[in-house]
A and B are shown apart, each in its own frame.
Chain A
Amino acid sequence: MKKTWLLFTLLLAIAILITLISSFYSVSEGEHIDPSSVSAVVISKERYVSLRAHFYIHPFPNSTMTLSFPNGSQKTVTTSYNFEVFLPKTALPIEIFPPGPEVAYISDEHPIDAQIIANITNDTIRDFNGTYFRVSVYWFAIQGNGSVSFSAYGVAI
């Protein structure tokens, strides 16, 4: 009987751990940047998700790439450069927000999203900087001849 209870407890633990492991999300992408226009790398997440993103910038030989951040700072890159950001959760998974304008394709099933958007305009930047009920956005603009890749990992607990 003790063994049956032990097995039952282990099966319960497996069910809980599988539920837990399914609350992790990841997204990754990489592409060449169009040197003739300004592109943006946009990471967005539901507010109840904690997210860490790693960015890898690879300028082509003898080329430079310029990164512009929302706070106005800029960084010029001539060799491979990488950095990471952590976006903490700012709400609980049980909180309900009214629907509002969304900047990214996120849902409860996939609460993180990352995109590289080419040829951004002032309107696009206004969208990125907007305040949203459900979504947090991190973005930076990138210009130059090279490629950018990133991977983002999030957890909804």
Chain B
Amino acid sequence: MEQLLSSKMAELLNVLDQVKRYREIAASMIDFAIIISATAVAVLILNVSRNLWTVFYGGSVALGTIIGNVSILLIILGIVGGILRVTLRVNAVKLEEWKSTLNEGTPGAIKLLQELRWETIFNDIRYAKLGFSLYGIIIMILCWVNGAVFLYLLGVAFLGHVIHLSLNPIAIGLISLVFALALRNKDLRERYEQAGHLDSLLWELRWFESEFRRADFKT
């Protein structure tokens, strides 16, 4: 019975650790948005400066090429930086802090159970679900945008010059969308399933909380 309690408690706390990680994803979305917005500002400033320079001092093909390449590099760096920031924050989440207490056996398990703040946990689960889904959608959109930029460059550099074919923007958008969907298909499915799991976890925990309170009241 003691072992069963400890193992069930470990299971619950592991799931809550996972929720903590997902919650961190939601919390780091603002960092992600700041990095992407800062990248957009840098790219726009670069292009406005290039345009001003072209009008007032005369432009050159070399200047246009350099600014174009630097802009693409900045966009890629911004996206990679944003993803890296989210990953680092999620990896920095401390997990299994409860392990030593749980190793004490039943008293430890009961102590952990009593320390759980249920309303915070329920909020965290809802927040985690939002962040988890949002991050998946953003990564999908970024894959789409990157694919479109890659196809555009391929179109300009290869198809246009070597075989004299040009891709139209709608075709670029559709092809890159199909590629992005194919690439992120597994991740999207996992996220969808995980969102469902988080929903059922929320309901199970609500039931468990009410049972626990009733038992607590009786003792």
Enumerate chain A interface residues (CB-CB to B < 8 A): 3-4, 6-7, 10-11, 13-14, 17-18, 20-21, 24, 50-52, 54, 84, 86, 153-155
Contact = CB atoms under 8 A, between A and B. Distances in A.
A14 B43 CA distance: 10
Interface in B179-209: none
B37 A11 contact: yes
| Contact count band on B | 10 to 19
Nearest to B39: A10
A6 B35 CA distance: 10
Contacts of B47: 21
B33 interface: yes
B44 A14 contact: yes
B217 interface: no
A52 B53 CA distance: 10
Interface in B22-75: 30-31, 33-34, 37-38, 40-41, 44-45, 47-48, 51-52, 54-56, 58-59
Given A14-B37, A84-B58, A3 B30 contact: yes
B148 to A, nearest CB: 19
A154 B55 contact: yes
Given A51-B55, A153-B51, A155-B52, A6 B44 contact: no
Given A3-B31, A7-B30, A17 B55 contact: no
B55 A153 contact: yes
A52 B55 contact: yes
Chain B CB within 10 A, most for which of A3, A6, A10, A51:
A10
A14 B54 contact: no
Contacts of B31: 3
In terms of DSSP, what is the predominant structure of the interface of chain B? helix
Contacts of B59: 153
B44 A4 contact: no
Given A4-B30, A50-B56, A153-B59, A21 B37 contact: no
A91 B47 CA distance: 25
Chain B CB within 10 A, most for which of A4, A52, A84:
A52
Given A13-B41, A52-B54, A7 B48 contact: no
Contacts of B51: 21, 24, 153, 155
A93 B59 CA distance: 24
Nearest to B47: A21
Chain A CB within 10 A, most for which of B33, B45, B55:
B55
A24 B55 contact: yes
Given A13-B41, A153-B51, A7 B56 contact: no
Contacts of A6: 34
Given A18-B44, A20-B44, A21-B51, 14 more contacts: A3-B30, A7-B30, A14-B40, A17-B44, A17-B45, A21-B44, A24-B51, A24-B55, A52-B54, A52-B58, A84-B58, A153-B51, A153-B54, A155-B52
A12 B54 CA distance: 25
Nearest to B54: A153
25 contacts: A7-B33, A10-B34, A10-B40, A10-B41, A11-B37, A14-B40, A14-B44, A17-B45, A18-B44, A21-B44, A21-B48, A21-B51, A24-B51, A50-B55, A50-B56, A51-B55, A52-B54, A54-B58, A84-B58, A153-B51, A153-B54, A153-B55, A153-B59, A155-B51, A155-B55
